[in-house]
Chain A
Amino acid sequence: MRIWGPVLRATATRDPRSCEATNITMTNSVDNQQFESFAGRLQETPEEIAFELRAQEGALWTGGRLLIGIWAFAFAALGFAYFYLRSANNENLWRPHGITAPTATGAAIFAITVASALLLMFGERRFRNDQTLDWQVAGWTAVLGGLLVIGLQIWQLTDLPFFPGSSGYASCFIGWAAMNIAAVLGATYWIETILAREIRLRRAIAQDGGAPSSTLPVARLFRANLNGCTYFWGFVAVVATFFWLLFYVI
């Protein structure tokens, strides 16, 4: 029943004469931050609060996977365009002279993306083993890696050996660059928000075993969020690998 203790402590501090005071209490109570039940606004039973919490955990899980689905179809559209134009080869202008985008930069972008994702996955495993510091190092490194990938991708666009409209390959590559920047930016933003959140929660959660093992609602939601983010980074790495093969290898 440990989970209910903090929740009910917050509920019990409500003052019927002051909803504002209640909210201040709620806002400052780390137990309930990030957990949007109706506590403090509606007379909820512990079971109802538990239901809300479980639903939010589930929504984070579902949301993370849905995001992967959304991006998968977006990148599938790019993959379709690649193969469609390649097979059509209109005016023999799919890829004249076998020209490619700068391979060294492309390899670096690919390698950093995959390394960041692997590092993050490793970090999450360490996090689950209560090694929060390892995860933090992995996470911030992934943030740096993501920013580096975005920077390299932009820089590569300024250094292309072909005009964007010179061939089907060139067009697809520009499309890939734009979409990769968006995907990596999103992934980097996501992990950064989780890391920043962890900093804000650290002291309060520490009393309850820290983020990896705390049973506080906020910690449970934090873990669900982190899990979704790590999966998404894994997806970004798979996409990076796939399109690296398409644009630089085959």
Chain B
Amino acid sequence: MKMNKRFGLKVASVGLSALILAGCSSAPSTSGSSGSGGESSDGDGYKIGVIEVQLNDESTNRATWFNDYIAPKYNCEFMFSETCSDLDSCMTFIENAAMAGCDAIINYYAVGSDTEALVQLCAEYGMVYTENGGRNAANEAVFTSNYENFAGNFQADQPATGKLFYDYLEESLDTSVEHGFIVLTGNAYQGNAQQTEISSNMLSALQDLYGLTYESTIADLVASSAPIEATNDKGIEIYCYPGAYSTSGWLEGFSAALQTGKYDYSLQAYNCLSNTATAIEEVESALNKDITVIGFGSFGEALTTAMNSTDMFGNQSVSMSTVKFTSLVSAMAFSKVYNCLTGNRDACLDENGEPSVLLFQMEAVTSPEQLAEMSSWDTTDKWVADYDFVDSLLADRTEGLTSAQAQENIYAMNYDAIKARLG
């Protein structure tokens, strides 16, 4: 009898939890829209949630710009996620952000075809959404479905990025001499939008330079989860090598591919310049062969070290890297959500009335001096995206602002303009 009582108590306790749970289910799914998410945190200012895909020096710099520079001036508050590397963690953060009273979400994790799911989730909580990604077949629906809370996307101008690689290769590469290329496609095979775009750009640049035709489509080559030869009609040795350096056996495989002696250019679509440097150096030494490294990078200790190191032939370990200014990209993201929050969503729409994608141009770095100069720009005391620039992207501070004009303003913030201002 005593036992039964105890058991009854347990069932009652846990059943209570279950009842609360069931009670929650009876609430209509739209109930969240009237929740705290839709209301401004203090009546005037806005609270914005930022989804970070990785926590590194770039995200630290971004947080400093948002918290210390933007927040006081525009009466905003920012809340940052832990690392979100899948859709579920993004959804969890969005839900938590809504509970914490956020009005908008800036997502730095490009979820590609799942954008619509996140836009719909934000809509449930009455939050504005923007993502670091482009517009493509996979997420076309979200641009055409007229979601009021979708501010559009922002990303690197991919053709322009491809052009940076193309220009560098055109300038440095003698196509009359036999060369081989290993393209590190990173997590493109897992659908990583940025790495997919950059890998595609690199393969396109080679296609244009040599006038070759691949037997497979570039999309298939980039999406392959296994290393694959990009066989082509000109017989140029091109090898797509997917995966991340942290995976067991990846560096060994990369080294093994280089040791075939077929490749003397390493084109890296994801940020692993310092991670591959030792493997490359050892193969150079073993084969007595110079390997040129160009690839995607970001300002920080790793790139600085890689750029300042030389190989056994006396060449820079990394010949060229593309970088971006954190505050510039963040300004685009901020303008997207801020314009929507202030009732100026029109400034986020293109000429067809659909959410626009704002583009920024990456910059090429080819020398340690140039890197040192550029690294010193986007810091606490001299941000690339200063108040004037941010204002030029906000409709309530720039009269009659359209998305096209905002795009022009962003393109105007190029290397020369920044150098002239921050020199």
Asked if A and B are interacting partners, one says no
Interface residues of B (CB under 8 A from A): none
| A residues with CB within 8 A of B | none
